[in-house]
Amino acid sequence: MSEGYLSGRTALVTGSTQGIGLAIARALAGEGARIALHGLIDADDSTAIEAEIREAGAPETRFLNSDLRDPAAIDAMMDALADWGGLDILVNNAGIQTTVSLKDATPAIWDAIIAVNLSAAFHTMRRALPDMAGRGFGRVANIASVHGLVGSVHKAPYVAAKHGLVGMSKVAALEYATAGSKTSGGVTINCICPGWTETTLIEPQVEARAAEFGGDRDKGIASLLAEKQPSQRTSDPSEIGRLAAWLCHPASHNVTGTAIPVDGGWTAQ
Ligand code: NAD
Q: Does residue 220 share a domain with residue 120?
A: no
Of 22, 93, 109, the one to substitute when testing ligand 1's pocket (max ligand atoms within 8 A of C-beta) is 93
The residue ranges of the chain whose pLDDT is under 50 are none
Angstrom distance (rounded) from CA 244 to CA 23: 10
* pLDDT tens digits, 178-226: 999 999 999 999 999 999 999 999 999 999 999 999 999 999 999 999 9
pLDDT for the residue numbered 1: 64
Question: Residues 207, 108: one domain?
Answer: no
Do 168 and 36 fall into the same domain?
A: yes
Q: Helices in the chain by DSSP H: which ranges?
A: 19-30, 47-55, 71-80, 107-114, 120-135, 156-175, 203-211, 217-228, 237-247
Domain assignment present for residue 269? The answer is no
Q: What is the CATH number of the domain that holds 42?
A: 3.40.50.720
Residue 2: its pLDDT value, please?
A: 84
> Quick one: 139 and 165 in the same domain?
yes
Distance 94 CA to ligand 1 centre (A): 4
Q: Are residues 53 and 77 in the same domain?
A: yes
Beta-carbon-side half-sphere exposure of residue 1 (alpha carbons within 13 Å):
0
Using a 6 Å cutoff on CB, does residue 157 contact ligand 1? Answer: no
Establish whether residue 94 lines the binding site of ligand 1, counting it when its CB lies within 6 angstroms of any ligand atom: yes
Q: How far is 1 from 245, CA to CA, in rounded Å? A: 12
- Residues 83, 214: one domain? no
How many whole angstroms from 181 Cα to the centroid of ligand 1?
33
Please give the full DSSP string across 57-95, using - where no structure is assigned.
T-S-EEEE---TT-HHHHHHHHHHTGGGTS-SEEEE---
Do 70 and 144 fall within a single domain?
A: yes
Contact 18 CB / ligand 1 (< 6 Å)? yes
Tell me whether residue 99 is in a domain.
yes
155 and 228 fall within a common domain: no
User: What pLDDT score was predicted for residue 168?
Assistant: 99
Could you tell me if 82 and 204 lie in one domain? no
Active-site position among 63, 110, 137, 158 = 158
Instruction: Encode pLDDT of 21-42 as tens digits.
Output: 999 999 999 999 999 999 999 9
Q: Is 176 noted as a catalytic residue in this protein?
A: no
- Domain range for residue 142? 10-195+236-260
How many domains in the chain?
2
Using the mean position of ligand 1's atoms as its centre, give its distance from the Cα of residue 19 in Å. 7
Same domain (yes/no): 133, 153: yes
User: Is 123 contained in some domain?
Assistant: yes
| 93 CB within 6 A, ligand 1 | yes
